[in-house]
A and B are shown apart, each in its own frame.
Chain A
Amino acid sequence: MLMADVQAPEPTDEALIMAVKNGSHEAFEQILRRYRDAIYGYLKTLLKDPARTDDAAQDVFLRLFRGASHYKVVEGGRFKSWLFMIAVNVARNALRSRRAVPLDSRISETLAASAHDRPDADERRERVQAALESLPEEQRQVVVLKEYQGLTFEEVARVLDIPVNTAKSRMRYGLLKLSELLQGYMR
């Protein structure tokens, strides 16, 4: 009737944050390993500069650790949304404190002109990143959270505190703009 016990899968995010809430550094390390690439990638896309990205990523995880005691575990789990809410706030603060740099309108022209060649993967990534950076922040946030971080539209809406339909339409406008900027890469 009872089968042999087998090895348990990795603890869930909710289980880990519960342990962090209880002061466990080990659980925190596990969360860090699990999400550091996602958070770093998200912030890098928004902040561009590696040093600023590094600082901001540190800030996100420190806030997570300090704020863990306020986290309420709910069935179904909302940890990922909560983590990205922290990341969005940190990114906004960092962007606000950055000296205003006018968007380089030449980015678009350069992208359109050179994309007819067959670029290698790194160059392609750089150009896609540059195109993303040229999007208005509100669209960029949605595109990055949705596409690169795999959040659902509902989660994106919750993280950014906007209606779900607004998230969908920002995604649409963002993608349409990207398709103009990256024409040479489109099949």
Chain B
Amino acid sequence: MMTCERASEELTALLYNEADAPTRAALEEHLGRCPRCAAELETLRAALGVLRSAAPPAAPPGFSVSLPRRRVLPRAGSLMAASIVAALLLFFLSDGGPKAYGDIRVEKVDFSLTVYNRNLALVRDRRNIFNLRAGRNIVRFSDVPAYIDPTSVHFFSLTDATGTRVVEQNFEFDLVSADALLRKFLDESIECVFKDGSVGKGRLLSYDPKTLVISQSGEALTLSRENIQSLRMPKLPEGLLSRPTLVWDLDVKTEGKHETIVSYLTGGMAWKADYTAISKKERTLELSGWVTVTNQSGATYENAKVKLIAGDVHRVRETFKVLQDSLPNGAGVGQNRSQVEEQSFFEYHLYTLVRTTTLRAGSVKQVEFVQRNGIPARHLYEYDCTRSADRVAVKLEFKNTDMPLPMGQVRLSAEVGPSTEFVRAISIEHTPKDEKVVLLAGYAFDLAAERKVTRLDRNEPGQIRRQDVELKLRNHKDEDVEIDVLEPVGGNGTVESSEPHEKLDAYKIRFVVAVPKHSEKTLKWRIDYE
């Protein structure tokens, strides 16, 4: 049994819904017996209410942060040796054409991606590099994601693994934008064309989203960017790219074409599973599931093989089909057409999409992976006073017979006459094959409950010694129903009841009550605490 001291430690966790299920159950049981702790909970709740009515101030409108002028480059020092900087600048100034660097050309072949649940992907990028010379070569490997982790890049030449190595690597990310241009022209002369047509010239001292500070004839002027029509820079600055690019200094022994594989980690990729379930009148369920892959990494992956990793522990090894590739409109995918494996991988699940797909930059791709009709579904009715004192919950239960379902959200609809109506969205956990899935669909309209505590004896200082409870269940349906009644009981309570009950765990008992159509059933029980 939980002590007052222990309860008071956990009250704030209860307020923020952060107590785990056993702690919560023990706390609720304790609060039912201890008015002092119950009163403290109310005090804490009230204090929170006052706090919430007076949130701290927001940052003032003009708040901004001026970053240091020097651009911070990744892996400074090791990668940005002065000679390489010079070589790269020369390279960009000459626009990277074949003249300066021979006919070195990089051609994409394909990608394979392993996407983790949240914001991380491992990319295996296969490309051919043409016309490499023996000796040192500068190679631009463009169209890499903006959120690449440059420290994770691994280069491998299939053509000559031992004779090819990356001497230096630089990740160039300074993409062309208005602010990037301004940054390049700090301390340089620029020309401002104002909205009234006048033109001013001066040296750019600093800028922020609203103003420019210009030095003109020894004076400093602040100009509102609102009044400026356009800015003219005397030349195109070097070092600005239109696409994020890895630039390598490659030392090569075998001349000519190299088949290469480059792997790297990138942020900005994520996936999740979503389901739609339609509850049919004949007590069956129609279930379809979609995998949604989000690509915010800044790169497009054409012809990509996609694997999805779901983090979870202690999973059993199962065979699992994710995607059918040959059916039109995704309809009628049957379990007997499985062709892709789900593998356990350390303590993860690995799901593979069967066919290659293209993931465009900034897009969300949805792929159907399950479609099943006619799944037998039971309607379960459950009364739990900790959920609602006067309503009976409806749950849909079905067996997951042929594939593990990744964690996701189920949007449940029900057939109403000729149409289907949305009922609610429910989260499900990773569900292995042959496990039951239970969806809380809502509350039954035609079932009502009335719970009364008819007697309460207390010990000093206010602990409950005996509690008598009466529960009336009314069934207004045209059919008989069976209702599960769950009742919290303290760990040391003994129960006598008018109907048989079973003890589910230390804190909960269950009655299974049959209520005939259009009738009422009364259930009584007494709990004695030691």
Task: List residues of A whose CB falls within 8 A of some B CB.
Answer: 1-3, 5-9, 11-12, 14-15, 17-19, 21-26, 28-29, 32, 36-37, 39-42, 44-45, 50, 54, 57-58, 61-62, 65-66, 68-69, 73, 75-77, 121, 124-125, 127-129, 132, 143-144, 146-148, 152-153, 165, 168-169, 171-172, 175-176, 178-179, 182, 185-187
Contacts and interface: CB of A to CB of B under 8 A. Distances in A.
A73 B59 contact: no
Nearest to A62: B65
B64 A42 contact: no
B294 A176 contact: no
Contacts of A8: 294-296, 362-364
Given A5-B363, A25-B67, A36-B59, A153 B296 contact: no
Nearest to A10: B296
A18 B147 contact: yes
11 contacts: A8-B296, A19-B146, A19-B147, A22-B146, A22-B150, A37-B58, A40-B58, A57-B65, A146-B12, A165-B9, A186-B47
B296 A15 contact: yes
A41 B58 contact: yes
A143 to B, nearest CB: 7
Q: Which 4 A-B pairs have the closest CB atoms?
A: A41-B56, A40-B59, A128-B54, A18-B267
Range of interface residues on chain B? Answer: 35 or more
A94 B289 CA distance: 53
A12 B120 CA distance: 11
Residue among A25, A37, A58, A182 having the largest count of chain B Cβ atoms under 10 Å? A25
A178 B68 CA distance: 42
Interface string B59-88: 110011101100111100000000000000
Nearest to A32: B65
B372 interface: no
B58 A12 contact: no
A2 B46 contact: no
Given A62-B67, A152-B16, A172-B11, 12 more contacts: A1-B325, A2-B365, A21-B74, A58-B65, A73-B265, A75-B116, A125-B54, A148-B56, A176-B40, A179-B47, A179-B50, A187-B49
Nearest to A164: B13
Contacts of B290: 3
A176 B41 CA distance: 10
Contacts of A132: 51
B174 interface: yes
Contact of A1 (B54, B148, B150, B329): B329
A14 to B, nearest CB: 4
Residue among B63, B362, B366 having the largest count of chain A Cβ atoms under 10 Å? B63
B388 interface: no
Interface string B305-322: 000000100000000000
Contacts of B74: 21-23, 69
B357 A2 contact: yes
Contact of B119 (A14, A168, A171, A172): A14
Contacts of A14: 118-120, 267
Interface in B329-378: 329-330, 357, 360, 362-368
